[in-house]
Amino acid sequence: MSDWWEVARAEEIPPGTVVQVDADDTPIAVVNLDGTFFALSNICTHMQVELHDGELDPEGELECPAHGARFDVRTGEALTPPAFEGLDTYPVQVADGTVYVHPEPAD
């Protein structure tokens, strides 16, 4: 997994939580949604606010703590104003209890 960033142990990110990791100076939000991990840019496209402090709902929508824009953690899509631009998402793998994020955003 040399091409992947090792970001955390899986148990450090319990279901329903979002944590910030800095992988190679890239701020990434890693989300555990019912045992499935997702990674996306941790910076809101509306006002450059860190998203890991926002609310995650059970449907996988992450709300920006500043102005309430909502993003789909699976796709990075901006779901509500004031954000109109989506977030970069990153491939995630879990191996031997460790969460890895690929450094290149998903297409």
pTM given for the model:
0.93
- What is the rounded average pLDDT of the residues 15-30? 90
In this predicted structure, the answer to whether residue 23 has a pLDDT above a threshold of 90 is no
The Cα 66–Cα 8 span in angstroms is: 26
Q: Give residue 13's pLDDT.
A: 97
In this predicted structure, the answer to whether residue 99 has a pLDDT above a threshold of 90 is yes
Q: Give residue 25's pLDDT.
A: 80
Per-residue pLDDT band for 53 (boundaries 50, 70, 90) equals: very high
Per-residue pLDDT band for 26 (boundaries 50, 70, 90) equals: confident
Mean of the per-residue pLDDT values of the chain: 94
Q: Give residue 2's pLDDT.
A: 63
- All structural domains of the chain: 5-101 (2.102.10.10)
Q: Give residue 1's pLDDT.
A: 57
